[in-house]
Amino acid sequence: MATELYDLTVPAFLRGFKAMAAFLEKARAHADEHGVAHEDLLTARLYEDMAPLASQIQRASDAAKFAASRLAGVEAPAMPDTEASFDELQARIAATVDFLNSVPRESIDGREDADVELKTPSRSFQFRGRGYVLGFALPNFYFHLTTAYAILRHKGVPLGKMDYLGGIG
């Protein structure tokens, strides 16, 4: 029986984006209620050499859309990483969700042994589909989701574990 890579990826990404969109709304409300400039949250970092909140959202988007693209062999939509407001980040999340929902299950399922190449400016990495999902795509997505959540918690946004999980069921 083939690994159902679709079930390991797309629903996890969709749930993560639902949670991310909700905690961005909580961050906006918190900022407005406490007189915090939106830019102060959007440019906040956990540590000086880490990317700011807006970049964490962009990287989570990239992780999900490129995972689906690489597995399904379809073109991922171009997103130029210019988002600088809560509305623009929400639009990025929505566009990523729309793309994920457009990828047919049958183009991902059964691709556990497919060759997947990940190219960076300095090198490329070779994976098999299942190893790519479990060893890179999901951990990378959750790293950026977790970091975005942690930045907002660090800045005083009242988020809890259930906000991160996006609800149960």
Whole-angstrom distance, CA of residue 104 vs CA of residue 127: 21
**pLDDT tens sequence across 121-138:** 999 999 999 999 999 999
Which domains can be identified in the chain, with CATH numbers? 5-164 (1.20.120.450)
Question: Residue 37 — φ and ψ, nearest 5°?
Answer: -65, 135
CA dihedral for 89, 91, 97, 100, sign (positive or negative): negative
**pLDDT tens sequence across 8-53:** 999 999 999 999 999 999 999 999 999 999 999 999 999 999 999 9
**pLDDT tens sequence across 79-110:** 999 999 999 999 999 999 999 999 999 999 99
Nearest to 162 by CA among 17, 19, 12, 31: 19
Do residues 132 and 70 touch, judged by C-beta distance below 8 A?
A: yes
| Predicted model pTM | 0.94
pLDDT of amino acid 166: 78
Tokens 């005083």 — which residue? 156
DSSP string spanning 123-157? -EEEEEHHHHIIIIIHHHHHHHHHHHHHHHHHTT-
Residue 1 has pLDDT above 90, yes or no: no
Three-point CA angle 118, 123, 126, nearest 5°: 40
The single-letter DSSP state of residue 78 is P
pLDDT of amino acid 99: 98
Do residues 53 and 43 touch, judged by C-beta distance below 8 A?
A: yes
